[in-house]
């Protein structure tokens, strides 16, 4: 049986489930890459600083992930995780993993975002797997 966290790291798209104030889930398909320098198999997601998913993560760091299509159709098992918003400097470093995985498309996307929104206009969410034993 394969590890759902590893499957998420390998997937082209992952559905990132975050939680609203009322506890209901909001799912968004996102690009994801493994931070190959982290010891805890951390995954990274690049997004706009003022996106709803970032606002929800600030309020509640609990997330769920599952491999999906570009349109968000789930193609694998869900796994529980925790999200943290990286600093601007950490985000710049973490973007290289997304650039490595997605190539020129990611480079153009991050460059376009930087030109439109400035250096602080985008952030990287660092995702770590939650231990099922502790919840």
Q: pLDDT, tens digit, for every residue of 22-45? A: 999 999 999 999 987 777 889 999
CA dihedral 97, 36, 33, 93 (to 10 degrees): -40
95 or 124, higher pLDDT: 124
The pLDDT of residue 106: 80
Residues 104-127, mean pLDDT to the nearest whole number? 79
pLDDT of residue 109: 77
1 pLDDT exceeds 70? Answer: no
Contacts of 79 (CB under 8 A, 6+ apart): 4, 5, 8, 64, 65, 66, 129
pLDDT band at 63 (very low <50, low <70, confident <90, very high): very high
pTM (predicted TM-score): 0.85
For the segment 51-61, what is each residue's pLDDT rounded down to a tens digit? Answer: 999 999 999 99
pLDDT at 58: 96
Average pLDDT, the chain: 88
Inform me whether the pLDDT recorded for 134 exceeds 70.
no
Q: Is residue 47 within 8 Å of residue 14, measured between CB atoms?
A: no
């Amino acid at each position: 049986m394969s590890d759902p966290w590893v499957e998420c790291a390998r997937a082209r798209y992952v559905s990132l489930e975050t939680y609203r104030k009322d506890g209901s889930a909001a799912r968004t398909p996102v690009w994801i890459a493994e931070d190959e320098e982290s010891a805890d198999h951390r995954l990274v997601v690049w997004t706009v600083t003022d996106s709803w998913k970032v606002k929800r993560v600030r309020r509640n760091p609990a997330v769920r992930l599952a491999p999906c299509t570009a349109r968000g159709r789930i193609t694998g098992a869900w796994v529980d995780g925790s999200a943290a918003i990286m600093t601007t400097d950490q985000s710049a470093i973490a973007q290289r993993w997304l650039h490595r995985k997605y190539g020129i498309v990611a480079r153009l996307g991050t460059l376009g975002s930087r030109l439109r929104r400035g250096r602080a206009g985008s952030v990287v969410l660092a995702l770590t797997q939650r231990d099922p034993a502790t919840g």
